[in-house]
Structure 1
């Protein structure tokens, strides 16, 4: 009796079993930092531009990594992937302080320079930075999923939409874990007062996390709300690539914020030195004090006072 030839669905090897959670203890995958970006309005581009823009984004990111002195990170990314409208990759958590500063600022500069010189579509990016245990083999896990959810969250989308496309080229959202360990820990040149706390939620997804927004070059409504021009910020020594690296030579101005506190219950807020903060709670808006508290909505700026009787907002 002859053996039938293998068909298209004949199993020729034993697939790796899917592990059952909570059934036994297993080694924890190594902690990896994650960085992801995607382009604003990518799907609105003509189809003929999708391929070139998709290839351009990782080139601009790598250019910024080099200019920030992060050559080792650029050349040793873990599980890198081109997502079509962006990129995502893992890296050693020890480099997180340098990714937050100066890399985010340098990437903003690189995008700005490109947008000024290019006759093609403007490249404006949302970025997310996160941390968690992930296998190097494929980088799949909750931390990676959350990195993409942060990237798609309402606050970072709203803040980039509200800003001027001529000035603001990058808006970044930093996870609570990274903010607590790296920013509040004092390991990075990014000051805590330059970040704004927001609730990161994604429409249609069961996702809600505390996160922090950072906009290297605020504009539009952000400036109207009181963000002052950036002041010169001295570069820090001790870069990953040693003294005299590109990062030390890339000392650039940094936005100055004077410690105003902001609390956002829903949507996105603005940051900076606000001369008389804003309280926005849905039906009415008031203007007082130096702190900012948002109840709902995406962005509020300027002198606001409305009531519940149909006044405009």
Structure 2
């Protein structure tokens, strides 16, 4: 009898980037996870683990995709979920109608379970090259790892947690490759507006990819900063601001405003007749309110008091002011400007 140590060592693979080889076949990947699996008592874990593939099989049959289930590649249970590969040509059909059918199947199951074992699923869909030769270790590679990362990412978890457990039983996340190939290209029976771009990140993992959230039966606030991530919301708001148009015509750029500032001085945009002086004091007051320690005073023109925060302005303003006097006057600690501005310098 052959002893274990007489067996040949496993065949070593060639070093990456050392020579060119054929890509493995491209496979669609679908993975599911049950929400709050560890929150159930241990005695129910086996029930849930068996129920998940049974529910998947029923949903594929009802969606008219029984052959996809029957022909699945490198299937594996993950305890609280399931993953398998399939011909990527069927990916548009998994996005729709299968995800919607899965929502219906889970709704029926949860209604009849009488609250004993309610099952809500996160689903991730991806496409990529993976070994598929019939070996027991097939299906391992970066696309499979990314499929699991997407399943554990913040947006899809948050969406299922924030939605109603009585309405939303499925939340799906698509990799960008999956979305571009199957949805943006027009092959899926769902408009791109049904999908929301999200930054897929996983806590504690070096993973950050563009992905797309799809919820067949949404409830609650889908467009939520906590779910989509600040980056996506900020980009969305920035795009809206950039697209702002003038009310006089579509497509005109938004108004721009210019603020003139003169630290420790005065800006006159018109002609000023009469004397002006700027004197700094230790307090600030405009209409009885104090700002930063300076006080403003001046003569009334037309019954209104002119206030400029930060300076004491003294002098005769009773002369005629032609033009606009705009801007800000900020005081220079201890400096005084006096004299007639019309007077020529000698």
Per the TM superposition, whether the score is higher than 0.5 is yes
Deviation at 1:11, TM superposition (A): 5.0
The answer as to whether partners of 1:199 and 1:267 remain within 8 angstroms in 2 is no
Structure 1 segment 138-287 matched on structure 2, within 5 A: 138-222=138-222, 268-269=227-228
Provide the aligned length of Structure 1 versus Structure 2.
231
Deviations 1:26-61 (A, max 9, x none): 111000000000000001110000011101000001
Match of 1:73 among 68, 73, 77: 68
Aligned CA distance change for structure 1 residues 96 and 19 (closer, same or farther; 3 Å): same
Q: Distance in 2 between matches of 1:19 and 1:152?
A: 32
SS where residue 221 of structure 1 aligns?
coil
Match of 1:125 among 95, 100, 121: 121
The answer as to whether partners of 1:174 and 1:212 remain within 8 angstroms in 2 is yes
Aligned CA distance change for structure 1 residues 98 and 290 (closer, same or farther; 3 Å): farther
Deviation at 1:103, TM superposition (A): 0.1
In the alignment, structure 1 residue 95 sits paired with structure 2 residue 54 = no
Deviation at 1:12, TM superposition (A): 1.9
Match of 1:22 among 6, 17, 25: 17
The answer as to whether partners of 2:129 and 2:143 remain within 8 angstroms in 1 is yes
Q: Distance in 1 between matches of 2:107 and 2:188?
A: 23
The answer as to whether partners of 2:199 and 2:228 remain within 8 angstroms in 1 is no
Deviations 1:195-216 (A, max 9, x none): 0000000000000100000011
SS where residue 50 of structure 1 aligns?
helix
Which residue of structure 2 aligns with residue 107 of structure 1?
102
TM-score using structure 1 length: 0.70
SS where residue 145 of structure 1 aligns?
helix
Q: Which has the higher contact order (CA 8 A, sep 6+)?
A: 1
Deviation at 1:290, TM superposition (A): 11
Which residue of structure 2 aligns with residue 235 of structure 1?
none
The answer as to whether partners of 1:198 and 1:267 remain within 8 angstroms in 2 is no
5+ residue gaps, structure 1: 226-263, 271-278, 292-313
Which residue of structure 1 aligns with residue 41 of structure 2?
46
Deviation at 1:147, TM superposition (A): 0.2
Deviation at 1:191, TM superposition (A): 1.2
Aligned CA distance change for structure 1 residues 109 and 290 (closer, same or farther; 3 Å): farther
SS where residue 171 of structure 1 aligns?
strand
Deviation at 1:74, TM superposition (A): 1.0
Deviations 1:262-288 (A, max 9, x none): xx9x85239xxxxxxxx966xxxx9xx
In the alignment, structure 1 residue 59 sits paired with structure 2 residue 54 = yes
Q: Distance in 1 between matches of 2:140 and 2:23?
A: 13
Structure number with larger C-alpha Rg: 2
Please tell me the root mean square deviation across aligned C-alpha atoms, in Å: 2.4
SS where residue 165 of structure 1 aligns?
coil
Q: Distance in 2 between matches of 1:23 and 1:106?
A: 46
The answer as to whether partners of 1:90 and 1:139 remain within 8 angstroms in 2 is yes
Aligned CA distance change for structure 1 residues 11 and 203 (closer, same or farther; 3 Å): farther
